[in-house]
């Protein structure tokens, strides 16, 4: 769990990221953990930071990339900022479904990257947020203003944005301790036999393709629950609920049970419906308001391209 991001001037501009290790990450290698958490940095760049003495474990310089982490460990890693990845305001369409002084809830469109990264320096959700919302938390630095969690580029749906640091810490903690509810609707290939189930498999970077994640023995703990909504002539409409937040988690777990998400070109088998992205929609988000403590629950209807595919399969449920 990341607890803060600190800007520091040491000749060149540096960012110090701080993480606390929880039960679910105990036993994982230091370099594997950091490269998974810091998606914009390659594993070789993380190893370089370790070799240069820029990584501390419990206050002491960590000189080995393969150190096995324990619950309660604190990691600090100092990395050079990438100036081109600083988010700037852009007048982009943004569907804000709720907003108050502390947070906003946004229904992200498919095709929009959450924050700037290599290959996507602009046109992201972060750029749009900066234009439409003036006050945002600074916990994750200039590249991810207000961003508490993320959605894949071609996954649509609900995402919460923090307007101040206190709200950010509260929301991040709720996601980390699993008290926040994040549920998705997805159309999977094939008929899932069980009406409901649990997928509890570790996820790490694929050893064969860095662009992919995979179920791996040395990956990070990941837990997904699913429930079948309807079986549709060789496809299954299901609800997937996240209890951890690993990169591509639902997509990887769906592939692991041999029912990849329809339209997923990275993990799927085919694209019969000629889709530009997977049929995966974050339709439900629930959490406690970071200031009032009131329970908030939001729902986002399925986008039109998703419902059209369901209609073509004679889906009788109205989501």
Q: What is the pLDDT of residues 161-180, one digit of tens each?
A: 999 999 999 999 999 888 99
Residues 57 and 119 in one domain: no
Residue 7 has pLDDT above 50, yes or no: no
- Please tell me the predicted confidence (pLDDT) of residue 83: 52
- Please tell me the predicted confidence (pLDDT) of residue 8: 39
User: What's 238's domain CATH number?
Assistant: 3.30.2350.10
Residues 108 and 173 in one domain: yes
pLDDT, tens digit, for every residue of 187-203? 999 999 999 999 999 99
Question: Residue 294 falls within a domain, yes or no?
Answer: no
**Final residue before a domain boundary, out of 81, 101, 120:** 81
Question: Residue 295 falls within a domain, yes or no?
Answer: no
Q: Of 152, 166, 209, 271, which residue is the catalytic one?
A: 152
Q: Mark whether 152 is an active-site residue.
A: yes
**Mean pLDDT on 254-279:** 90
Domain count, the chain: 3
Residues 49 and 100 in one domain: no
Residues 189 and 275 in one domain: yes
Residues 228 and 211 in one domain: yes
Residues 59 and 149 in one domain: no
Residue 302 has pLDDT above 90, yes or no: yes
- Please tell me the predicted confidence (pLDDT) of residue 206: 82
Q: How many residues does the chain have?
A: 319
Question: Residue 288 falls within a domain, yes or no?
Answer: no
Question: Residue 319 falls within a domain, yes or no?
Answer: no
What is the residue range of 210's domain? Answer: 182-282+306-312
- Please tell me the predicted confidence (pLDDT) of residue 210: 63
Report field, pTM of the whole predicted structure over 0.85: no
**Final residue before a domain boundary, out of 24, 59, 81:** 81
Residues 117 and 189 in one domain: no
**Final residue before a domain boundary, out of 81, 107, 131:** 81
Residues 196 and 124 in one domain: no
pLDDT band at 11 (very low <50, low <70, confident <90, very high): very low
């Amino acid at each position: 769990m990341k607890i803060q991001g600190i800007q520091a001037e040491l000749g060149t501009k540096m960012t110090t990221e701080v993480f606390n290790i929880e039960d679910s990450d105990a036993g994982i290698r230091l370099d594997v953990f950091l490269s998974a958490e810091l998606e914009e940095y390659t594993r070789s760049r993380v190893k370089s930071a370790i070799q240069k003495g820029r990584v501390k474990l419990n206050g002491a310089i960590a000189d080995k990339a393969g150190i096995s982490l324990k619950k309660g460990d604190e990691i600090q890693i100092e990395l050079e900022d990438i100036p081109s990845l600083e988010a700037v305001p852009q007048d982009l369409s943004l569907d804000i479904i709720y907003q108050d002084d502390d947070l906003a809830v946004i229904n992200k469109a498919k095709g929009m990257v959450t924050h700037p990264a290599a290959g996507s320096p602009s046109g992201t959700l972060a750029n749009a947020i900066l234009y439409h919302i003036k006050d945002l938390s600074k916990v994750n630095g200039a590249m991810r203003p207000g961003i508490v969690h993320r959605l894949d580029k071609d996954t649509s749906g609900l995402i919460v944005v923090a307007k101040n640091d206190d709200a950010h810490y509260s929301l991040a903690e709720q996601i980390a301790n699993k008290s926040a509810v994040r549920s998705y609707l997805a159309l999977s290939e094939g008929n899932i036999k069980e009406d409901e189930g649990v997928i509890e498999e570790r996820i790490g970077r694929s050893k064969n393709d860095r662009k992919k994640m995979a179920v791996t023995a040395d990956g990070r703990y990941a837990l997904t629950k699913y429930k079948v909504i309807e079986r549709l002539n060789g496809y299954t409409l299901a609800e997937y609920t996240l209890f951890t937040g690993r990169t591509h988690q639902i997509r990887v777990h769906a592939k692991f049970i041999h029912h990849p998400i329809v339209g997923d070109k990275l993990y799927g088998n085919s694209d019969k419906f000629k889709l530009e992205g997977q049929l995966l929609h974050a339709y439900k988000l629930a959490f406690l308001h970071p200031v009032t403590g009131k329970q908030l629950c939001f729902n986002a209807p399925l986008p039109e391209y998703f419902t059209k595919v369901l209609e073509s399969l004679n889906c009788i449920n109205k989501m």
